[in-house]
Structure formats: C-alpha cells, structure tokens
Structure 1
Amino acid sequence: MRIGRGDLVAGVTAAFVLIPQSLAYAQLAGMPPARGLYVAALAPIAAAFFASSPYLGTGPTAITSLLTLGALTAIAAPGSFDYVALAGLLALLVGTMRILLGAFHAGTIVYLLSQPVITGFMTGAAAVIVASQIPDLLYATGSAANPFVAAWNALMQPGSWHLQSLFVGMATVVVVLAGKRIHRLFPGILLAVVGATLYGALGGYTGHTVGEIGGSFPRLSLDLPWASIPLLLIPAMVIAVVGFSEPAAIARHYAAIDRQRWNPNREFVSQGVANLAAAIGGGFPVGGSFTRSAVVHDAGATTRLAGGITGLVVLVMLPFMDLLSSLPVPALAAGVIVAVREMLSLRPFREYWSYARLQFLVAGGTLVATVSFAPHVERGVLVGVALATAAHLLRELRLSIPSWVSDNGTLHLAPKGVLYFASSPGLERTFTELLVAHPDSRKLVIHLDGLGRVDLTGALALRGLLEDARAAGLETTVKDIPPQARKIITRVVLDGDR
C-alpha cells in the first residue's frame, strides 16, 4: 500500500483539526489536556493498521468523552491521579471488547440499537455537552453535578461573567463558522486557537487558560487499577457499542458515496486497537469523528494510511505543545459547542411523530433519560434500549386479525403480523368470538399470506385452533402459506394434523 499525495494532505490537515479538538475533548472527559494530545497521537496510528474505511478520523470525540466522564465521576474526582488511571483502564476494557466483537464477527451488533434510541441519545448527549461548556464559556462557577443545573446557575449570575472569556468564546464561534463558509477545508478551528492563544499570552487576558501542557512524549505503561474492572464493565460495554455507532455511520456513509465495501468487524478491531493504544499511553476511550472524517475525505485521502499520518504529525508536534499553555479555556468550550451543534436537531423527532408515534416515544424517552441522568448519560442508553424492547414487544403482541363471513356462511380469518408465543392468544380469541357470533357456520378458511415470522408456539396454537374448529363441526382450510413460514406450518400444522 502506497502513501499518495492525497493521504499526506489529508493526514496533515486533519492533524491541525485534531490538536485543538483533543485538548477540548480531554477537558470534556475530565482529563488533563496533555492526555488528549497523547490519545490524538497514538490512537490514529494504531487504527490505521486495521481500518476498513480510508477516511475514518479516529481519536477523541465529544460523545465518547462525555460517556467517559459519566462513567468515572462517581468513582473519582475528574483530573485526579485515580481518575486518569481509571480512564486508562476504561479505554483498555473498551478496546478489548471491540476487538472481541470484531474477531467473532459480531460487528452487526451495532444495528441492534434502533435509530430512535441512537437519535434520542445523541441529541440528549449533545445538549448535555453544550450545557457543560456554558460555565467555562463564561468563566463562571455553576457548582452543580448536573450540567444543566450548573449552566443555569452560571447564566443566572450575569454579574460574575468574565467578559474577556465571553469575547474569546464568541470570537471562536465566529471564526470557525465563517471558515466553514469560506471553504470546507479552511482551518477555522486552528486559526481560532492560534488567535486565542496569542490573545491569552499578549492581550492581557485574565481568565482561565489551559495551563502547562508539558512537551513530553507519552509514557507507555499498563500500571492500571485492575481491581476496579468490575466497576467499569457495564460502562465499557456501553461505550464499546454505543460509541461505535458513530464510526460505523461514518464508514457506511463514505462507503456508499464511493461505492466501496466496508467491513464492520474489521472496523470494530481497528477501533479496539486504537483504544488499547490510548490506554497504554495513559489516555481515555476514543472513537470516530464526523468532522475529521469529512476533512480527510474532502482533502483527497485514498488509503487508511492518512489516519496514521495524522497521528504521526501530532506525535512530532508534542514537544512544542506547551506553546498552547496560554490558550483560553473558553476557546475550547466554544469549539466543542460548534462541533456538536448539528446534533441538536428536532427534525428526526418530527419525522418519528409523523411516521410512528410509538418510536417517537422511544426517541423522546431516551432523550429525557439522557438529559435527566447527566452526567451519567450511559444510563440514558440503557433506558432507551429498554423502551425500544418494550415498544417491539407491544407491537408484536398486536396481531392484526381481519375476519369476515362470506355469502355462503364461511368464516374467514386473515392474521397479519408475527405469530409467536405472545401473540397467538389473540388468534384464538378472535376465532372464538367469530364462532359465537356465527353459530350456523360450517366452514373455516384461514389465510396466512399476511404473516411474517411464525414460531413453534404460534404454529401449535394454529393447529389447536383448527382442531377446535373441527371439533365444533367446521370444515377447515389453510390457504396462502407464506414462503418463510412454509416449513414450520407444513410440519406442525398440516402434517401434525394427520
């Protein structure tokens, strides 16, 4: 595999986007800024050896950082030595789980999360992220565990707002958004960070800055708090699966655009290896970024080595990163808000309301749970999965059974849906009611072309219904058996009746 000119341009361009984002997402994850840079260097290099998509921008992401914060804040204080060690262990667990899922060809597990659950969680998580950045944007103390309460407290104290911080934040938003209007590859975030750093160092800025970053390379180690593994297993599984939905969506999107294949199992392995690298380098869990992936794609990358180049550029620049010690924190907060703004959309919810009210409730319930449990947003995912499962069972319980009586007195039943153990009582109940209403009928015809799946209990219930009908003196006929149910209907109902 050769490195092309497009790979070099894409890799370097993405690196200059990744550096400020890694500082911002480290802060969001409750980690020291240097740890974000370590992850930004090591994770893309590791992922490049196994990635299926040539465009996937691996590294720190807003959603994964928020999930990390939610998983660890109940165990240790953000930024503390114990917290940093736990973050490394969490990344190791996430990486191990993803590698196992990929190795056992379980990449399709990401599809088990329904779209309404993902939409509700992503929207709620984006709202939590924005709220969490408000105090830093204003350099005001929110003093509350819930980000929305902290944001509200900060907003309700305008007298404590730091105007220089607010100016830096607003200027960052303007530069980044204006850069996107100029050209999709315009390095707006880099320009904003450089300008904010110069202002922090030379402009008399008195607010909160990033502080000393340290110009050292990451120290590779597996000195982790292994005894805490039981505490992190569930959060690690949530991050491993939910955090993969973003890189999976990115890979599918660009594979469709370029009419290329992509392999979810291989992508699981690449993301798993990236997390292992992050863990060994003292970092935190990583994922795939839409923003950086778009940069890599638009810059003309042709191979997965573009991601490796991104990591190498960051690695080479690590000794010089202390130059950003004067960077005002509000610039990073503003950068995070801009990065997640597109996730704050109500359009999917309007579509769910129009298409399927039950799925609207699943999405809305997931969003509310994600926001309510903040910063422990992983619990919102669990609530969403429970709601989606309940919605599925509720829908499957409702077996639609149109019935009618023809001119010659023949009873007709035409069940539609899935005939399984939970829905079969409805078929029996409908038949009984129809028989009571038409006691003189002498023939029953059951049309099965509207059925999807039929399980053993459903087939046995159908056979029992036919036996009861014949015992009541009716001649029975089964018609229009669907192909997918022909085997079990033939064995259990038709052959079993003989």
Structure 2
Amino acid sequence: MRAKVTRPARGDLVAAATVALVLVPQALAYASIAGLDPVYGLYAAVAAPIAGALVGSSPYLQTGPVAVTSLLTFGALAPLAEPESLRFAALAAVLALIVGLVRVTLGLVGAGPIAYLMSQPVVVSFTTAAALLIVGTQVPALLGVDVDAANPLVGAVSALADPTEWSWADVALGLGALVVMFGGRRLWAFFPGALVAVVAATAWSTLAGYDGATVGTFDLQLHAPRSIAPGDLGALLLPGLVIAVIGFAEPASIARRYAAEDRQPWNSNREFVGQGLANLASGAAGGFPVGGSFSRTGLNRLSGARTRWSGAFTGLLVLAILPFAGMLANLPLAVLAGLVIGAVLSLVDVRKPALYWHWSKPQFAVGVVTAVSTLAFAPRVERGVVLGVAAALAVHLWREMRVPVPSCVEHDVLHLRPSGVLYFGSAPAVERAINAVIVQHPDVASVVLHLNSVGRLDLTGALMLRDLVEESDAAGRSFAIRGAGPHAARLLSRVLGPAVTVEPARLA
C-alpha cells in the first residue's frame, strides 16, 4: 500500500488556516463532550491532522476531534474513571492507541470493505440519536445549571424543568454564539463564526468580570499517569474495537462522497491506515480518539485545499496557536455549549427515517431499535450500535429464510418457481412448501423446478433437492431443474448426478 507523494497546492495553506481557526474552539468543545479537560482537545487537534495526512486516500479529509467519537469515548470511559480526572485522561489516551492499532491493522490486512457492513438505517439512526445526546450534554451548561445524571437526556430534562434556576446571562451567551455561527455563514460562506464567537465572548467575559462557569486556566503539561492496570486495558479492548469500526463510518462516508464528486478513486484500506495513524498520534500526544469531520472537511475543500498537505498544515498551525491557548481561560462554558449544539444539529436527520417507513418497514424498525437503544443506554452508546447491527442481521436472515414458491400446472407438468436464497436456513421451509404443493396435485407426471429467481444455492439446499428427486422417483414422477446459475448448476450436477436433468440459465 503506497501513498502517492504530492506537492502542496497553492490553496492548501489558506485552507489549513481557515480550518485551524474553526478547529481550535471545536477541539475544546469536543474534549468536554469526551469528559476531558478542554486542553486535551488541543493535543488531539495538533497530532491527529498531521498523522492522518500521511497516507490517507482523500485529499480533503480533515481529521481530529469530532462529536460522535467524543461521545463514544465518554461512554466507554465513564464507568472506569471520574470524568476530567487524570486517570480518565490516561485511559482516553490508551483508548486512542487501541483504536489506532485496530484501524491500522484492518487497513494493512485489506479489511477496508468492513466500512460498508453497517446498514444505512443503523448509521443514520445512531448518528441522529448520538447528536441528540450531545445536545443533551450541553443543555445544562447552556442554561448555567449544574445537574448530576448519567444519561444526558435525563440531565437535559432536569435542567429544563426549573427555569428559575437558569442563568439568563449564560442563555444569552450560548444563543448569541449560535446566532454568530449561523448568521455569519449567511454573510460569507467562509465566515469563522465559531472563532468570532469565542474571541468576542472571551473578551467580554474578561472586561465585564463575568462570574459564571468558564474554561479555566490551561496547563499544557501532561500529568496523566504513565501506567495503566492490566484490567483497564482489558476493559478498553471491546470499546476500542467498536469505536474503530463505528467511528470509521464518518470519515469513510466523507471520503467516498468527495471522491464521487471529483470522479476520483477512493481506497478504504488507505483511509483505515490514515485514520489509525491519526489515533496513534493523538494517543501518544495525550489526546483521545479522533475521526473525520464533516464540517471541517467541507470547509477545507471550499477554501481551496487540493492535497493531503492541507491536513498537515492544519495541525502545524494549531501547534503554533498552543502557546496562546491560555488567553481562552475566561471563555464561558455556555459559549462552548452553544457552539457544540450548532455543530451537531446538522447530524439530526429525521427525513431519512421517515422515508424508510415508506420504503421498508423492517428497515425502519432496525432504525428505531438503533435509535431507542442508543438513547436508553447512554452514555454506553456503543451498545445501541451493537443492537442495531444485530437487528439488521436478524432482518436479513428473516428475509432470506422466507422463500416463496409460486406454482402452476400445465397439462400434467407441475412448475415450481422459488424466489430468494436457497441455503441451510431456508431449505426446510422450501422443502415443506414444495411437498405441500405436490400433495395438492397428486396426478402430475412431471415436476419442473425453475431456479431463475434463486440468488444462491448452498450444499444443504442441493441435498434437499436430492431428497425431493428421490421422493419423486419413488412416486413415479420425473423431476427436472431449469434456469440454474453457473455455480448452482455445477453443484447440482455433482450432488444429483446424471440421472436428473439440470439446465443452466441462458445468457441474454
């Protein structure tokens, strides 16, 4: 797997500067979602874009702290350590290393197509539910209310329940950040609304003597413990695997989308390795698991980026900003809450689930299972994905086990036309259905089985057909098979022998 070395394009540095201005406040906010001190978001924001740009497939993909992966991180670590503690930070760094190792391994062994295994209803429903949970985590800070609830939605409802406890100054700051963020985009597509909101709110907080909750002073020195107990490592393996696979859905969909627009090839294996290196670098720098950002990637492309160098430049520019990060100590948390809410609102998608209801009721049910379980199990949101994937597989198996067998009689010939997959799961039901039809027509002299609509036939299905042939021979009826695909025809010829006519499907 060799990544083609390209020279920086003229627009890469400009695009990187634009993205870096957005990344800094987002990194602070997403670190808080992950249960970490905001400064750890800056560590991830420096290391991940540089490492992710080394071998990635997409020239636009911006890697770093993202909302959904941050929530997955919090869900994985909350049962193991106190949020914002040094132990929590150490576990987050180790979790990033595990995610990185899994992704690099999957890419090197050519397992990139695993990115396609999660169905769209699972991905869309999980993303929407996760976005709602992220909003829930920020509602208390937006209102200036302290709540203690494991489930973010419970905490949000608790905070909203008593308006007398709200800090109206915090509400104004948070909503003002939203207005600047979205209003600025109407004036200019490249308007750095998040940065303007952060700078303005920090300046106001300093001059006005704001006494609400703020980010606080930054300590750029890493004090996380260097050693992790073996039990902790074992507890992180499964969450690391889940985050490695689930979190890859976001950068994969971003890269695929822009590759299609540019009519350029996309390599999922290279992207797995690139995202793996980004997580390894983030963990080594004391950060937390990272992924690809929809908003920053889109901004990167619109700002003129043309090569992977834009990602590397972004990380270097954030590194240059680090010495001045202490200037954000007076930034109100309500502003960060508003920026996070604004960033994740675009992830809430109710239109597609509504379409699933019209297109496929079972797939709509898969989406409901995914969304409800994600919300119910929060902060262990990875369980929602696992249940959603299980539901999708169950629906798939249920569909494959249902093989209708329409029939008709012409003169003394019974024609059977099964439709579906004839394998070990559906073979017993198909055998019962065919026998039931034969019993209804005891006088037919011949049975013809048409396999044109059978997508796949395995050995169990072939052995079942052999039993039917033998029963027909015993009853004095002939049995013929027509329209078998190449693989099915070869398998049936070996299992049934020359005594039964097997006519392969005709090529158009």
TM-score bracket, normalised by the shorter chain, equals over 0.9
| Match in the other structure for 1:249 | 253
List aligned pairs for 1:206-245, cutoff 5 A: 206-214=211-219, 216=220, 223-245=227-249
Q: Deviations over 1:86-122 (max 9, x none)?
A: 1111001000000000010001111111111111211
Q: Does 1:36 align with 2:35?
A: no
* Cα distance in 1, alignment partners of residues 214 and 224 from structure 2: 27
Q: Is the 8 A contact 1:410 1:442 kept in 2?
A: yes
* Cα distance in 2, alignment partners of residues 225 and 168 from structure 1: 42
Q: Is the 8 A contact 1:180 1:188 kept in 2?
A: yes
| Structure 1 letter corresponding to 2:442 | P
Q: CA deviation at 1:258?
A: 0.7
| Match in the other structure for 1:331 | 335
- SS of 2:415's equivalent in the other structure is strand
Q: Is the 8 A contact 2:93 2:282 kept in 1?
A: yes
Q: Deviations over 1:386-443 (max 9, x none)?
A: 111111111111012111212x131111011000001011221122111211111111
Q: TM-score, normalised by structure 1?
A: 0.97
| Match in the other structure for 2:295 | 291
- SS of 2:255's equivalent in the other structure is helix
Q: Deviations over 1:197-227 (max 9, x none)?
A: 112111232211000023x476899654454
* Cα distance in 2, alignment partners of residues 113 and 398 from structure 1: 22
- SS of 1:51's equivalent in the other structure is coil
* Cα distance in 2, alignment partners of residues 222 and 478 from structure 1: 68
Q: CA deviation at 1:489?
A: 2.7
Q: What percent of counterpart residues are identical?
A: 49
Q: CA deviation at 1:342?
A: 1.5
> 485-494 or 165-174, which moves further after superposition?
485-494
* Cα distance in 2, alignment partners of residues 443 and 402 from structure 1: 16
| Match in the other structure for 1:22 | 27
For structure 2, list consecutive stretches of 5 or more residues without a partner in the other structure. Answer: 1-5, 502-508
| Match in the other structure for 1:343 | 347
| Match in the other structure for 2:432 | 429
Query: Among residues 466, 469, 489, which one is paired with 1:466 in the alignment?
Result: 469
| Match in the other structure for 1:278 | 282
**CA separation of 1:287/1:494 partners in 2, compared to 1, >3 Å: closer, same or farther?**
same
* Cα distance in 2, alignment partners of residues 125 and 188 from structure 1: 24
| Structure 1 letter corresponding to 2:100 | G
| Match in the other structure for 2:304 | 300
Q: TM-score, normalised by structure 2?
A: 0.95
Q: Is the 8 A contact 1:221 1:282 kept in 2?
A: no
**CA separation of 1:308/1:491 partners in 2, compared to 1, >3 Å: closer, same or farther?**
same
For structure 1, list consecutive stretches of 5 or more residues without a partner in the other structure. Answer: none
| Match in the other structure for 2:57 | 52
| Match in the other structure for 2:504 | none
| Structure 1 letter corresponding to 2:137 | S
| Structure 2 letter corresponding to 1:271 | Q
Q: Deviations over 1:174-207 (max 9, x none)?
A: 1111122223211111111111111211123221
- SS of 1:446's equivalent in the other structure is strand
Query: Among residues 361, 367, 376, which one is paired with 2:365 in the alignment?
Result: 361
Q: Which runs of 4+ in 1 moved over 4 A?
A: 217-227, 494-498
* Cα distance in 1, alignment partners of residues 22 and 494 from structure 2: 62
- SS of 1:418's equivalent in the other structure is strand
* Cα distance in 1, alignment partners of residues 390 and 185 from structure 2: 39
| Match in the other structure for 2:178 | 173
Q: Is the 8 A contact 1:220 1:280 kept in 2?
A: no
Q: Is the 8 A contact 1:60 1:285 kept in 2?
A: yes
Q: Deviations over 1:243-299 (max 9, x none)?
A: 000000000001001111111111111111111111111111000000000011111
| Match in the other structure for 2:407 | 403
Q: Does 1:73 align with 2:72?
A: no
- SS of 1:452's equivalent in the other structure is strand
Query: Among residues 121, 125, 133, which one is paired with 1:128 in the alignment?
Result: 133
Q: CA deviation at 1:484?
A: 4.7
- SS of 1:480's equivalent in the other structure is strand
List aligned pairs for 1:65-144, cutoff 5 A: 65-144=70-149
| Structure 1 letter corresponding to 2:184 | G
* Cα distance in 1, alignment partners of residues 180 and 135 from structure 2: 18
Aligned residues: 496
